[in-house]
Amino acid sequence: MTNPILENIQFDAEGFMTDKSQWTKDIAVAIAEQEGIETLTESHWNVIDYCRFAGEQTGKSPTLRTITDSAGVPTKELFALFPKGPAKKVAKISGLGKPEGCV
């Protein structure tokens, strides 16, 4: 079942938002739920906020290495917060495009 918050949001074939200017925290929560994350904790938001900031600065989604190096989140913790492909998952939740190097 699709969350009504996401009804008017456009996504590409892989589930990434096509217009990042539409992103809101409510949209992030709805996408996270679809990705199997029921609650976004302060730790989740710290990573999301970093990714949004980095995306604004570079025009690209940060890679896993960039997140772990620059956001100060160890890889193991990142995988615990965003299981099964954390860079890709956090990019979706952050309203950003697919990170370079992700398959």
Alpha-carbon distance values, 43 to 4, 34, 54, 101 (Å): 26, 19, 17, 24
The token pair at 39 is: 């609650």
What does the alpha-carbon distance between residue 101 and residue 27 come to, in Å, rounded to a whole number?
25
| Active site residues per annotation | 102
